[in-house]
Structure 1
Amino acid sequence: MSSTEKKRVPHVIIVGAGLAGISTAIQLKRQLGFENFTIYEKASAVGGTWRDNTYPGCGSDVPGHWYSLSTDLNPRWSTYYVDQPEIRAYWEDLYQKYNLPSHTKLGYGVVSAEWDSDSQLYRVVVRNTETGEETQAEANILIYAIGGFMSPLFPKDIEGVEKFRGLTWHSAQWRHDVDLKGKRVGVIGNGCSAAQFVPEISVDPSVEVINFCRTPQWYIPRANFRNIIMARSDIVSLIFNKDNKRLLAMTKKTLSRYIAMTAPRDQVAALTPDYTPGCKRIIVDPGYLESLHRPNVSLRWDAIKGIVENGIELKTGEIVPLDVIIFGTGYCLEPTDLRVQGRRETIHEYFASKGGPTAYIGTCMPGFPNCFTILGPNVATGHASVIFSQEAQIGLVSQLIQPIIQGKAKSFEVTEEATDEYNTWLQKRLTRSVWTECNSYYQVGGQKETRITATFPGPVGLFWWLALRPRWSDFRGVAGEAWEKQRRKDNMKKRGILVLVLALAAGLGFVVHNQSLYEVVRRIKSVVL
C-alpha cells in the first residue's frame, strides 16, 4: 500500500437532505468528528417531506417535541402539534448551524451505486436534475436517507384524470396559485392529509367541498401531555398487539364514542370503522369531524367509477360536477430510488427474494457492505415519531463505520444468518399485530395478505435498545483483523475489571456513600460495560 493510500480519508455519501440526511450529517460531525462527507439532494432545497408538503393545515400529528433532534432540543415550539412552516424552519436552522451547505450538492440525484469488492468502495452515478448530465463519484460508505414517503400516490383504479376540464393536483403538490373561492372541490381520500386540509379550505363558505371516501378512519382528539411524551407513546403501543383484547375493546369503544360525539349524527354510522383501531394509521383529529357540520362540506361513500370531463362519475351512474379535484390519497412507500448493486445482486432483487423490503434492524442488508438505510424496512413504530427511531439507527451506523473512518477496517457487512434470524423474530411478532387485519400502506402493495414492511412490532424503546450497540458477531469485516483483536482484548480487560471490582464489593460487603450494594454494582456495570 502506498503512502498516499494510507493517508486517504474514507469518503461518505449521504443520499437525501431531508430530516434523516440532516440528522446523519450532524451525527457524523458531533459523534465522530468526521467531515469528509457529501450530501446529494435531487431537489433545489432541503427538508424532504416538510419541504414538499405545503397544503393548508399541513403539520405534525405527533407532539412537536418528537421533532426536536436530541442534540438540539427545541423548547420553543409555538404549539403542541406543530405546523409545517415551523418544522421546516427548525430543520433548516440546524442545516445552517452545522455548516451543512458546504457539504451539500443541491439539484443532484444519485442514480445508482455499485460495490467494487476489489477497491472496497461504491462507484456512484450522480445526475444533475436540471441538465441531465451524469458524473461519477466514489464512496467508501453509502447512507441512504431518502425517507419513507417517496412520491405522491394516485389510485390505479381511478382512471380518466386526463379527461377532466378543471384543475387536478395531489395534496403533496399543492397549487397555491389557484384560488378556490366559489368553486366546487372534490377531495378524493380521507386519510391524514385530507383530514388536515379539508377543515382549512372549507372555512370559506363559498368553497363547496365534496369528500369522496372509501374506508372510514379512526380518530382521536388532540390532547396535551407535554411532560410524558415517550412514556405515553410506549403505553399506546400496547393497542397494536391484538392479544390485548380487553384493551382493544376499550379503545374501540372510546374512539367510537369520540366520533359519535363530534361528527354529524347522520354520518356517525358511515364514519365508524368496523376494523380494529390501529390497523390503519389513527388520525389525530385536526378538526375534520367538526368541519363536517358545515353546510358547504359533504361526504360521498359511493365507489368512484372514474373521472370524466366535468367531474367524478360514481359506480351508481351519478356524475358529480366539479371545478377542482384534489387527491389526498397518500404516498408511495416503494424505494424506487434505492438502486444499489451489491456483491451479487441489486437491493430490489434482494427484496424480491424475501417477499418485500427486508433489512437488519431496518438499517443494512447482507451482500451490501458499508451500505445503510435510514428509515428502512420495519422502522416506524406507528405510535411515535420516526425522528427518534432514525436517531437510534444513526447511532448504530456511527458505531459500525467508526473503524472504517479510523482506517482500521475496510468494510462491514451484516450476515445472511443474522438478518434472517432478526426478521423471523420480527415477522413472528407482526403476526400478533392489528396490522394484519386490514389493507394499509404498511404492507407490500397495500394488501393484508402480503408482508408488513413499514412498521416495527413493539414500543419505540425496544427498537432503541436493539440499535443501541452493534452485535459484532452479526457482521463480517474486511481488513479489520487488527481492530477486531484489539476490540476483544479491550472487552476482556473491561470484564476483568468488572469481575475484580464485583469480587471486592461482594467480599467486603461495603456500602459507598450510603448506597446499597445493588446500586454500587449497577453503577459499576454501566461504566465498565
Structure 2
Amino acid sequence: MMKRLSRALGRSTSDPKVNQVSEVQPPVVQTNGVEVTTVQAAPAGPWILEERSIDATRPMRVVVIGSGISGIIASIRLRQRIGKLDLCVYEKNADIGGTWLENRYPGCACDIPAHTYQATFEPNKDWSTFYAAAPEIHNYWKRVSDKYGCEKHIQFKRQVVGATWDAAACKWKLQVKNTDSGEIFEDTCDVVVSASGALNEWKWPSIEGLHDFKGKLLHSACWDESYDYSGKRVAVIGNGSSGIQIVPGMLPKVTHLDHYIRGKTWLSPTFAREQIDKRNSELENFSFTPEEIEAFKKDHSVYQEFRKEIEKELQSVHGATLVGTPEQLGTTEFFTENMKRRLRRKPELADDLMPAFPPICRRLTPGPGYLEALTDDKVDVISSPIVKIVQDGVVTADGKHHPADAIVCATGFDTTFTPRFPITGENGLSLAKRWEETPENYLSLAVDGFPNYFICLGPNAALGEGNLLLLIEKEIDYVTFCLQKMQRDNIRAMQVRKEAVERFRRHCDQYFSRTVFSLECRSWYKGGSLNGRITALWPGSSLHAMKALAYPRWEDYTYEYVNDNPNGWIGDGWAEDERNKIINVDYLDDDQIDFPTAVIAKAMEHVKEHVNGVNSVNGRLPN
C-alpha cells in the first residue's frame, strides 16, 4: 500500500535524483512546472521564505595561508567536515612543513617528547629518539600530508602579499606572488585561515659591524647546509631555544666554540626522567631500540601506555606557573639541583647561567645535551656584552677580542605579531594599525573588524607548558564549527564583537598578573621586553584551552546573512535528500539512536544506594 502510495505521489526511493523546481513567487507557486494559485495569500511584508533546503550546503571557497602543521591539519579537517568546499592552500616555500622545513641548523629538534608532538589522529610509532630531530619531524608531516592528499590543494611558491575585505561582496580579495617569477595575481575567497605561524619572520641582530665580518655569517632560521664548519672556531650568539640546540649540535665538529649569553636562563629537567634512569643513560635524548619500536607496532596497548605516560607528565606542570603555589615555590630548588647535576664538570658555570627570576618565566626547555656541552673543554661561555663585530671575530665590553671563523646568530624572530603583509578589514582598517598598541584578539583566533578571518596560533595562543599540538587541533576544530554554522545558517559574513575582544584582553591581563610569566624577565612572551604585556601565551593550561575551544559562543559574534535574510536558514520546507527524491530513514538504525543507557545505570545505582541505606539502618549488612 505504502509502496503504491509513494509511487503515486512521485516519492519512490528508486526514482533517479531530479532537481525540484523551486522558484516561488507568492501568491502563485509552481509545482512540477504547473502554476497553482494558493488559497491563502502571503501576509504583507518582506518575503523571508528562502528558496533552499533547510540542510542545503552553501558552496564556500576557503584560502589557507601556509602549509606548516596548522595548515596541514586545516587542510585535512576542512575537507573532512565542510561540504561543497573549494579549498586552496598558498605556501611560499617549495614544500610543506613550515618551521620543520625552514629550520635546519645543527641540533634542530623538538623540545618536547616526540610521541606528544604528533597529530592525535595519526600516531607515529617509529620515532627514533625521545626528542625527534627536525628532518624526522618533517618526514612525519610529509607522510601525513601525502596520506590525506593535502598537496592536491596546495599551491607551492605562492606567497600571499595582500588581503582586503570587500564588504559589498562579503569576500576577501587576495594578492598572491609567484616567488619564482615575481608575478602577482589576484584571488577571491569567502574565508581566510591564516596558518603562517608567529615565529617565521627572522631577523639579524642589531650589532655594530655584523655585516663587516669576513668569515661565515649564519642565522639559525636561514641555515646554509652546504657550509662545513668542521675544524672551525665558531661563535654562537644567543641562548634561547635555538642557541640551546645549536651548541651541542655543532660541538662535535668544531675546534672551539664561544657561546655568548645575553641573559641567564633556566634549563628544565627532561620530561619522563624515569625513562632515562631505566636505561642508565646520561643522555637526555635517548634513542629507542629496534625492539622497543617493534613492541610499539606489535601491541598498540604498549604504545598507548607509553604515550599516555609522557602526555600525563607534560600536562602536569600548570600549577608551577602560578605564583605562590606549592608547585611554583618548589621549582627553583628542583631546577637548581638539576642544572648543578648536569654542570658538575664545571660547577662554576652555575652562577653564570642560573637567573634570579624563578623558572618558567621564560620558555620552558630541557635542552638535551646543552648544559653538558658547556662543560666541554672546547667551549667558553661569555657573558660580557658584545660591543661590536670586526672582520675576524667579536669584541666584548671587557675589551677582549675573540677570533672566529664563523658567527651563528641564534637571535630569534620578530615576535611582535605585526602582520607580514597588508591585511585590510572593514572601513579600510589595517590589521597592523589595529594591533599598533597591542595585538588584542578573541581566543587567539579572531579580531573585530576582520570578518571571515581566522588565525591559527595568533596572539595569546602559545603555551608556557602543556601540549601545543592539541591546541592547534582544537583551533582548527573551532574554525570548522564556524564554517559549518555559516553554511547551516546561510551566513555570508561573521565577525567577533569588539566587546568580546576587549573582555578577552582584560581577562588575559588579569590572569597573567598572577603568573610567573609576568615577573621581570626578558621573554618573547612579552615581545622581547622585560615587563611588557604578555601577548604570546594562552591564559591557562593546554587542557583549559581544549575546553575553551570545544564549543563556540555564538553570542560573541555578529552575522550578515545571504540576501540580508536572518530567516534564510530554515529554507522552504524541504530537506535536501527529500527534494532529490531520497527518503532516508537511517535515523532508526541502532547506531543512530541515542539510547539512554546511562540513565538506566544511574537509576539502578540510586536504587542500590537506597536499599543499602535501608539495610544499614535496619542493622543488616548491605549486599
The bucket for the TM-score relative to the shorter chain is: 0.7 to 0.9
Per the alignment, residue 23 of structure 1 pairs with 73
Tell me if the contact between 1:150 and 1:335 (Cα under 8 Å) persists in the aligned partners: no
- Range that drifts further, 37-46 or 63-72: 63-72
Shift of 1:448: 3.0
Q: Residue 171 of structure 1 is aligned with which of 193, 212, 220?
A: 220
Q: Does 1:32 align with 2:82?
A: yes
Shift of 1:518: 13
| Amino acid aligned to 1:267 | L
Q: Does 1:99 align with 2:149?
A: yes
Per the alignment, residue 342 of structure 1 pairs with 425
SS of structure 1 residue aligned to 2:268:
strand
Q: Residue 267 of structure 2 is aligned with which of 219, 222, 225?
A: 219
SS of structure 2 residue aligned to 1:47:
coil
Per the alignment, residue 147 of structure 1 pairs with 197
Per the alignment, residue 491 of structure 2 pairs with 409
Shift of 1:220: 2.0
Shift of 1:95: 1.2
Question: In structure 1, how many angstroms separate the alpha carbons of the residues matched to 2:310 and 2:220?
Answer: 29
Tell me if the contact between 2:172 and 2:192 (Cα under 8 Å) persists in the aligned partners: yes
Per the alignment, residue 351 of structure 1 pairs with 435
Per the alignment, residue 255 of structure 2 pairs with 207
Q: Residue 71 of structure 1 is aligned with which of 118, 121, 137?
A: 121
CA deviations 1:239-284 (Å, max 9, x no partner) are 111132x432311011111111211112111111111101111221
Tell me if the contact between 2:58 and 2:490 (Cα under 8 Å) persists in the aligned partners: no
Q: Does 1:372 align with 2:454?
A: yes
TM-score (norm 2): 0.75
Question: In structure 1, how many angstroms separate the alpha carbons of the residues matched to 2:87 and 2:604?
Answer: 50
Question: In structure 2, how many angstroms separate the alpha carbons of the residues matched to 1:66 and 1:80?
Answer: 10
SS of structure 2 residue aligned to 1:38:
strand
The 1:223/1:8 distance shift into structure 2, 3 A limit, reads closer
Shift of 1:468: 0.7
SS of structure 2 residue aligned to 1:455:
coil
> More relative contact order in 1 or in 2 (CA 8 Å, sep 6+)?
2
Per the alignment, residue 432 of structure 1 pairs with 514
Say which one has the larger Rg: 2
The 1:517/1:105 distance shift into structure 2, 3 A limit, reads farther
Question: In structure 1, how many angstroms separate the alpha carbons of the residues matched to 2:606 and 2:124?
Answer: 37
Tell me if the contact between 2:232 and 2:255 (Cα under 8 Å) persists in the aligned partners: yes
Q: Residue 102 of structure 2 is aligned with which of 29, 39, 52?
A: 52
SS of structure 2 residue aligned to 1:185:
strand
RMSD between superposed Cα atoms in Å: 2.6
- Range that drifts further, 358-367 or 435-444: 435-444
Shift of 1:229: 3.6
Per the alignment, residue 132 of structure 2 pairs with 82
Per the alignment, residue 285 of structure 1 pairs with 367
- Range that drifts further, 335-344 or 224-233: 224-233
Question: In structure 1, how many angstroms separate the alpha carbons of the residues matched to 2:547 and 2:600?
Answer: 32
The 1:54/1:165 distance shift into structure 2, 3 A limit, reads same
Question: In structure 2, how many angstroms separate the alpha carbons of the residues matched to 1:357 and 1:36?
Answer: 30
Describe how 1:380-399 pairs up with structure 2 within 5 A: 380-399=462-481
Question: In structure 2, how many angstroms separate the alpha carbons of the residues matched to 1:180 and 1:52?
Answer: 20
Q: Does 1:232 align with 2:282?
A: no
| Amino acid aligned to 1:161 | L
Tell me if the contact between 1:217 and 1:273 (Cα under 8 Å) persists in the aligned partners: yes
Shift of 1:232: 2.5
SS of structure 2 residue aligned to 1:113:
strand
Shift of 1:384: 2.3
Q: Does 1:122 align with 2:202?
A: no
Tell me if the contact between 1:80 and 1:226 (Cα under 8 Å) persists in the aligned partners: no
Shift of 1:99: 1.4
Q: Does 1:131 align with 2:214?
A: no
Question: In structure 2, how many angstroms separate the alpha carbons of the residues matched to 1:516 and 1:300?
Answer: 69
Shift of 1:198: 1.1
Question: In structure 1, how many angstroms separate the alpha carbons of the residues matched to 2:329 and 2:601?
Answer: 49
Tell me if the contact between 1:338 and 1:347 (Cα under 8 Å) persists in the aligned partners: no
Question: Tell me, which stretches of 5 or more residues in structure 2 are unaligned?
Answer: 1-21, 25-50, 273-305, 572-595, 610-623
| Amino acid aligned to 2:316 | I
Shift of 1:512: 5.7
Q: Does 1:482 align with 2:531?
A: no
Per the alignment, residue 319 of structure 1 pairs with 401
Per the alignment, residue 332 of structure 2 pairs with 252
Tell me the percent identity: 29
| Amino acid aligned to 1:227 | K
| Amino acid aligned to 2:371 | L
SS of structure 2 residue aligned to 1:93:
helix
Tell me if the contact between 1:163 and 1:308 (Cα under 8 Å) persists in the aligned partners: yes
Tell me if the contact between 2:236 and 2:257 (Cα under 8 Å) persists in the aligned partners: yes
CA deviations 1:187-237 (Å, max 9, x no partner) are 101122122121121123x52111011112111232337423443233202
CA deviations 1:293-319 (Å, max 9, x no partner) are 221111111110011111111112221
| Amino acid aligned to 1:235 | S
Shift of 1:517: 8.6
TM-score (norm 1): 0.88
Shift of 1:12: 0.3
Shift of 1:483: 6.1
| Amino acid aligned to 2:560 | V
| Amino acid aligned to 1:288 | Y
| Amino acid aligned to 2:323 | K
| Amino acid aligned to 2:516 | V
Q: What is the aligned length?
A: 492
Tell me if the contact between 1:306 and 1:312 (Cα under 8 Å) persists in the aligned partners: yes
Shift of 1:291: 1.3
Q: Does 1:109 align with 2:159?
A: yes
Shift of 1:397: 0.8
Per the alignment, residue 499 of structure 1 pairs with none
Tell me if the contact between 2:100 and 2:137 (Cα under 8 Å) persists in the aligned partners: yes
Tell me if the contact between 1:19 and 1:91 (Cα under 8 Å) persists in the aligned partners: yes
